[in-house]
Chain A
Amino acid sequence: MIPASFDYIAVKTVPEAVAELAKHGDESKLLAGGHSLIPLMKLRLSTPSFVVDIGRVKDLNYIRRTDGHIAFGALTTHHDIEFSDLVKEQLPLLASAASQIGDPQVRNRGTMGGAAAHADPSGDYPTCLLTLDAEFDVVGPNGRRVIKASDFFVGTFTSALQPDEVLTEIRVPAPPAGTRGTYLKFSRRSQDWAIVAVAAQATVKDRKFQEIRIGLTSMGGTPLRASAVEAALRGKSADADTIRKAAEKAAEGTDPPQDLNGSPDYRRHLATVLTRRALEQLTAGR
């Protein structure tokens, strides 16, 4: 469990990182918190010959309000998101998801940008960011571009990032006041990846779903939106019966994987259960 040999540089700025990536091409990999890349390298499943460490780039670790958005620097740790008052108040879904990633050691090192760029379909952030219609600021040799979440998660462990691009910021639209959010994750042990997880954010006004967003983790090769559930709830009454019926649609159009902990059947079932529970939680007392 020792990585194959590689060269390493710790850059201080984003342009430096982009220049190094451009120089080394496909053979290079960006290192942020290292919680996805380093295990792959130790198992020699990933053998980059050049590692560009952006962990010391300044000004990529922040959470701030910008016009109509909450912006996250790519190096913001899970721990910072879990404990941010701004996130807890504005985007409780993200705080909830962050608190359930790995264990405290992982949450202190792992970064939102790294987890998003890794595009693991059983990862927690990709689903949340898709659900929240986040946008991704990316810097490459030709300057900056913005990628929408719906275009960002292309496939299993594949994002829309080019090998010479650096993800710098993730922006999430700030929801209306009174919006609630939660992330329900089902796993065998507390620190495991989700067998299935559901990301949900709801704005309920006058006992109606004004805005509703539901996302699914580990239900296919990429994070997914439970569009059928969203459609069944948008503008509808936030009552138990409506929720129950809508939640039954959670697995529609999904093609969940088979592994030791869950058959596709079991995952489809869990998706409906977790969706209903999440919605019950978000509408409790409303």
Chain B
Amino acid sequence: MAISTLIGASIKRREDPELITGTGGFVDDLPQTGLVHMYVVRSTEPHARILGIDTARARQADGVLAVFTGKELASEFQSPLPVTVSFVPEKKYPPHYPIATDRVRYVGEPVAIVLAQSRAAAEDAAERLDIRYESLPPVVDMEKAIAPGAPVLHDELGSNLAYDVKRAGGDIEAAFRDADVRISQRIRQQRLIPVAVEPRGVVADYKPFANALTVWSSTQIPHFVKVWLAVILGIPESQVRVVAPDVGGGFGSKIRVYPEEVLAALASRKLGRRVKWIEDRSENMKATHHGRAQIWDVEVAARKDGTVLGVRATQYLDLGAYCSQFGTFQAIALLLIQGPYKLQAWDGRGIGVYTNKTPTDAYRGAGRPEATYIIERVMDLVAQATGVDPAAVRRKNFIRQEEQPFTSLMGLTYDSGDYSTTLDKALEMVSYQQLRKEQAEKRKQGKHVGIGLSTYLEICGLGPSVATTAAAGIGFWGMAVLNLHFTGKATLVIGSSPHGQGHETPFAQIVAETLGLPLEDIDVVHGDTAIGPMGMDTYGSRSASVDGTAVYLSAVKVREKARKIAAHLLEAAEEDVVYENGKAYVKGSPTKAVTIQEITGAAFQPHRLPAGMEGGLDETTFFNPPNFVWPFGAHIAVVEIDDETGRVQIQRYVAVDDCGTRLNPLIVDGQIHGGIAQGIGQALFEDGVYGEDGQLKTGTLVDYLIPTASDLPMFETESLVTPSPTNPLGVKGIGEAGTIASTAAVMNAVADALSPFGVKDIDMPASPQKLWHLMHKNGGSKR
């Protein structure tokens, strides 16, 4: 498309005034009258039989309307919670219902619901429930879980093994045969807790005579929740409306249909009242899914010049107690390990395991940070083993621009990009050669300085309908409805469901640019299943490339119809009419123009339209992209580790990202900043720890350490632009890139700093205590 003024402009987010002044509308803020409050009573046992629940005393408590146990609700569910293909069609999984009936399998699993006139009354009454458990041995460790004789979570599966699959390409035996260097390394991906700023929340309103259900939920996927509430509760889909109002962050943690959405709706149906459930932070830490939770055993075959020939790896994925809706999505890492590099062979094995812990599912990046972490650690391990500089190792292995579109060992086709460009730029920003010299100098002074590179390639833009069937079992697409009103104002309904990203601003920019409408004349609406066709919602950095394209195509269709109407009004041939900046005129006579507002007015008056043309000026687009989009970039972290305390200080953080066309660079930068922060959180701070007793030991924000601004360095960001050929805007995606890149950059820097101690790899998070032990207690100092 033409060089534009609005697309690519750093316009402040139109969402922000409300959010910043505290006048936004989250689920808990919605004006609701006549509410009944639901409290979910959760298992305190990681693994137990429920012998009985005595609800009598709770029912008699002040303000209580009803108490239901899992057994009392079981007959109402016409389907278990959904489980998608998520790259592992071979997996075995048990039906997972919203509430336990006779057995609990993780601390936090719902066992009963209390409905009362206030949340406080419900919590008080919950303490009066008498739940009798017969404890069973908890299964906590993944490897022990699949060892013979381990207690089994789901008797019908016979073991705790959900799947054991192979994903391979190329001749791995030959790669190892030809190798000069062979490296084996176990690499851990600790369990992370997403901690969206707004915990989840639901208000459900069932109207018995209409058999109609409205649910407001803090979700990323209102459209999917609508479909599944209809299926699970047996209500016609046309009678179910789901609204995602302002949503305070998701990071994947609101990507699935949750038990509480079903339970609140069911409670509303049973009581004939509006039911509200708000998750508190204590619940959020254990009832909302976790992420990562993997062990990787990696073997690398390389040449002594730094060429990586092949990688063989096993990914153990801790699914937690049940297979969540996208529980095996993180196995996508098995398809993506290759990254931006030209390997001869990849031999992957994926093993999914059930344990007595909170289920895991998508968390910012969902499998892509893990794939990047593994291959970027591999590049540094090869550098360490061969003595070739880490930047040179990457250059040696990069796929070259002339090889694009490149087809990976797993059959994925990359779209565009010269991966060396972002690396070159980042190296230049840190003055890499100089930096290495300074590092050598500081080492002589006994200082532990490390430099870490991460040159990631990311897949996003779900997606091509055929290909995404492997992800979710159904095809994905982008959706947008652009509807011009009589006065020339526009309503844009989008299929994505933003939860903090700021879709309204760049999507309005696309329409304003394409139609020449004032930006403020375009209202962008989303997250309400009653106001548009099925949308595919928001996850996986898909919205700009897929729904953004649908927005653009709808605007183009409106423009083309407007041009036809203009030709009729101007009594000219259509091909002689020029449309620009919101006006149409006959070529050569720009002074005699009709405005889009005049055209819109005519569109609603049939006598002013060309013969045979239907009235109105609204267009709907379903966009099925021909391929994924593949943003890439290079991040560099420079760290120094305090010899005496083990604390990591990030001295510089440089990020060069190429996400194709940037619709709004301000938003791109915000996504990169937040993403880097979250990735550093994994590298240095966050750890979801369970005790051997199956209890979550990091269930508060005192123990689960999410970094704050004061714990993070300045980020120096730059962008390069390689448009994607996959869509007409040339956009890729940027929502997860920061997280995908930064964990590896920081950990490579930490490992580099500690390489004089003989350290090869460090389990995350790189806590001060751990690093101090590595430097001073692990065979002694090598300085």
In the complex, chain B residues whose CB is within 8 Å of the CB of A188: 685, 705, 767-768
Q: For residue A265, which residue of chain B has the nearest CB? A: B777
CB neighbors of A among B668-707 (8 A): 685, 687, 689, 697-698, 702-703, 705, 707
The answer to the question of B123 belonging to the interface, with a C-beta cut-off of 8 Å to chain A, is: yes
| Contact with B708, one of A44, A189, A260 (Cβ below 8 angstroms) | A189
Question: Which of A4, A192, A263 makes the CB contact (< 8 A) with B124?
Answer: A4
Does A261 lie within 8 Å of B769, measured CB to CB? Answer: yes
Answer yes or no: B280 CB below 8 A from chain A CBs.
Answer: yes
Contact B645 A186 (CB under 8 A): yes
Contact between A5 and B711 (Cβ–Cβ < 8 Å)? Answer: no
CB proximity of A187 to chain B, nearest CB, Å: 9
Chain B: residues with Cβ within 8 Å of the partner, total of 29
Residues of chain B lying within 8 A (CB to CB) of residue A195: 768-769
Contact call A190/B708, Cβ cutoff below 8 A: yes
CB-defined interface of A257-286 with B at 8 Å, one 1/0 digit per residue? 000111101100110010000000000000
Residues A5 and B124 in contact in the complex (CB < 8 Å), given A188-B767, A188-B768, A189-B707 = yes
CB-contact partner of B280 in A1, A4, A103, A192, under 8 A: A1
Residues from chain B with a CB closer than 8 A to the CB of A186 are 645, 647, 768
The answer to whether A1 and B282 have CB atoms under 8 Å apart is: yes
How would residues 92 to 117 of chain A score, 1 for a CB under 8 Å from any chain B CB and 0 otherwise?
00000000000100000000000000
Interface centre among B282, B689, B767 (most CB of A within 10 A): B767
Of the residues A103, A190, A266, contact of B769 by C-beta under 8 Å: A266
Residue of A nearest to B768 (CB): A188
B119–A2 touching, CB < 8 Å: yes
Prevailing SS type, chain B contact patch: loop
Q: Which of B119, B685, B687, B773 contacts A189 (CB 8 A)?
A: B685
B767 surroundings in chain A (CB, below 8 A) = 188, 261
**Complex alpha-carbon distance, A188 and B771, angstroms:** 13
Given contacts A43-B282, A190-B708, A262 and B685 within 8 Å (CB-CB): no
Which range contains the number of A residues in contact with the other chain? 20 to 34
Which residues of the partner chain A approach B127 to less than 8 Å between Cβ atoms?
4, 44
- Is residue A183 contacting chain B, with contact meaning CB distance below 8 A? no
CB distance from A102 to the nearest CB of B (A): 11
Q: B777 contacts which chain A residues (CB < 8 A)?
A: 265
Is B120 engaged at the interface, CB distance under 8 Å to the other chain? yes
What residues on B are CB-neighbors of A190 within 8 Å? 708, 710-711
User: Out of B123, B687, B697, B772, which one reaches A266, CB within 8 Å?
Assistant: B772
- Min distance, Cβ A98 to any Cβ of chain B, angstroms: 17
Residue of B nearest to A3 (CB): B120
User: Knowing A189-B708, A190-B710, A269-B772 touch, does A260 contact B697 (C-beta < 8 A)?
Assistant: yes
A-B contact count (CB 8 A): 53
Chain A residues with Cβ below 8 Å from B685 are: 188-189
Chain B's closest residue to A266 (CB) is: B769
At the interface, yes or no: A193 with Cβ under 8 Å from chain B?
A: yes
Contact with A along B640-661 (1 / 0, CB 8 A): 0000110100000000000000
Residues B769 and A193 in contact, CB atoms below 8 Å apart:
no
Q: Which residues of B contact A (CB under 8 A)?
A: 119-120, 123-124, 127, 280-282, 644-645, 647, 685, 687, 689, 697-698, 702-703, 705, 707-708, 710-711, 767-769, 772-773, 777
Q: From residue 191 to 239 of chain A, which have CB atoms closer than 8 A to chain B?
A: 191-193, 195
Q: Which residue of A lies closest to B119 (CB)?
A: A2
Contact between A191 and B708, CB atoms less than 8 A apart: yes
Instruction: Collect the chain A residues with CB atoms within 8 Å of residue B123's CB.
Output: 2
Q: Which residue on A lies nearest to B644, using beta carbons? A: A273
Expressed in whole angstroms, the Cα–Cα distance for A269 and B645 within the complex equals 8
Are A192 and B708 CB-contacts (below 8 A) given A1-B281, A186-B645, A273-B645?
no
Pull 7 A–B residue pairs with CB atoms less than 8 Å apart, ordered by A.
Answer: A188-B768, A189-B708, A190-B710, A191-B710, A266-B773, A270-B645, A273-B644
- In the complex, what residues of A have CB within 8 A of residue B698's CB? 260
Q: Is the CB of B124 within 8 A of A189?
A: no
Q: How far does the Cβ of B706 sit from chain A's closest Cβ, in whole Å? A: 8
Residue of A nearest to B283 (CB): A1
In the A-B complex, list the 8 residue pairs whose CB atoms are closest, starting with the nearest.
A1-B280, A190-B710, A273-B644, A2-B120, A266-B769, A189-B711, A2-B123, A188-B705
Cα A265 to Cα B773 with chains together (Å): 10
Q: Once the chains bind, are A260 and B282 in contact (CB under 8 Å)?
A: no
Q: Which residues of A contact B769 (CB under 8 A)?
A: 195, 261-263, 266
Cβ contacts under 8 Å, A193 to chain B: 702
Bound-state Cα–Cα, A266 to B647, Å: 12
Chain A's nearest CB lies how many Å from the CB of B28? 13
Instruction: Tell me which residues across on chain B come within 8 A of A103, comparing CB atoms.
Output: 708
Is the Cβ of A189 less than 8 Å from the Cβ of B705? yes
Give Cα distance in the complex from A94 to B708, angstroms: 25
- From A44, A192, A266, A273, B702 is in contact (CB under 8 Å) with A192
Assess A260 versus B689: contact at CB under 8 Å? Given A1-B281, A266-B772.
yes
B120 touches A5 (CB 8 A): yes
Give the chain A neighbours of B687 by CB distance below 8 A: 260
- Smallest CB gap from A196: residue in B: B645
CB distance from B35 to the nearest CB of A (A): 15
Q: How long is the Cα–Cα vector from A192 to B711 in the complex, in angstroms?
A: 11
**With a CB–CB cut-off of 8 A, which chain A residues contact B697?**
260
Give the complex CA separation of A270 and B777 in angstroms.
Answer: 14
Closest to B773 in A: A266
Q: Which residues of B contact A43 (CB under 8 A)?
A: 282
| Residues of the B chain whose Cβ atoms lie less than 8 Å from the Cβ of A261 | 767, 769
Chain B proximity of A192: nearest CB distance (Å): 7
Q: Which of B119, B687, B705 has the most chain A CB within a 10 Å cutoff? A: B705
The complex places the Cα of A61 from the Cα of B645 at a distance, in Å, of 38
| Interfacial chain A residues near B708, Cβ < 8 Å | 103, 189-191
Which A residues lie within 8 Å of B773 (CB)? Answer: 266
Residues 6-21 of A, flagged 1 when their CB comes within 8 A of B and 0 if not, give: 0000000000000000
For the complex formed, measure the closest distance between the CB of A193 and the CB atoms of chain B, giving whole angstroms: 7
